[in-house]
Amino acid sequence: MRCPSCGHPESKVIDSRDLDEGKAIRRRRECLKCGSRFTTYERIEATNFFVIKKDGRREKFSRDKLRAGIEKACEKRPISSDQIEHLITGIERELGAGAEMEVPSARIGELVMERLRELDEVAYIRFASVYRSFADLATFEKELRTMLKQKK
């Protein structure tokens, strides 16, 4: 594993933890050259389905794209990388459990919003505002009212 700071190809594992019931491993590493510390994740690549986009295009499911969207919504929130990893794995597991080889992007978006609502309301609103393309303040306010009703 190359060091993200200096590019040196050798590092040592400082700490290793199982994630998601042993289906993934989180490793803390230290570069043998510069001493920089970084985290890596190791998992079985088992997602072999396609995402049907709103415009009808098909593309292979990308865990990295899903992570990028969720991380953007969770930016500057008290949400750990382990919580994000668990959220992504749960979504991926649910999508992979079905026999469908093609999943509409809307289904993925709804799963993300459902789980973010449980995890952090601010992250949920951030994701929803982009996903649902809030056109104006009234649409945003309507979503907030819906969320507050569900909370009570």
128 within 8 A of 139, measured Cβ to Cβ: no
Cα–Cα distance for residue pair 77/88, rounded to 1 Å: 17
Q: How far is CA 17 from CA 51, 84, 137, 145, in A?
A: 31, 16, 44, 40
**Residue 103 is part of which domain span?**
47-151
SS3 18: strand
Q: Look at phi and psi of residue 128 and say left if phi exceeds 0, alpha if psi is from -120 to 50, else beta.
A: alpha
Residues 59 and 112 in one domain: yes
Neighbour tally for 88: CB within 10 Å = 19
65 in helix, strand or coil? helix
Total domains, the chain: 2
Query: Residue 40 is encoded by which pair of tokens?
Result: 């890596």
What are 100-145's pLDDT values in tens digits?
789 999 999 999 999 999 999 999 999 988 888 777 888 888 888 8
CB–CB of 108/51 below 8 Å?
A: yes
Residues 35 and 15 in one domain: yes
Is residue 45 pLDDT above 70, yes or no? no
The secondary element (H helix, E strand) that includes residue 73 is helix 63-74
Q: Same structural domain for residues 18 and 54?
A: no
**86 and 11 share a domain?**
no
Instruction: Give yes or no: residues 23 and 98 share one domain.
Output: no
Q: What is the mean pLDDT of residues 8-30?
A: 91
> What are 65-100's pLDDT values in tens digits?
999 999 999 999 999 998 999 999 899 888 877 667
C-alpha distances in angstroms, 137 versus 6, 90, 102? 46, 32, 34
Q: What is the pTM of this model?
A: 0.69
Q: For residues 39 and 27, is the Cβ–Cβ distance under 8 A?
A: yes
Say if residue 29 is in the same domain as residue 88.
no
24/61 same-domain check: no
User: Would you state the pLDDT for residue 46?
Assistant: 62
89 in the same domain as 65: yes
Do 126 and 84 share a structural domain? yes
- Whole-angstrom Cα distance, residue 40 to residue 36? 13
Three-state DSSP state, 79? coil
Is residue 77 domain-shared with residue 132, that is, in the same domain?
A: yes
Mark whether 127 and 62 lie in a shared domain: yes
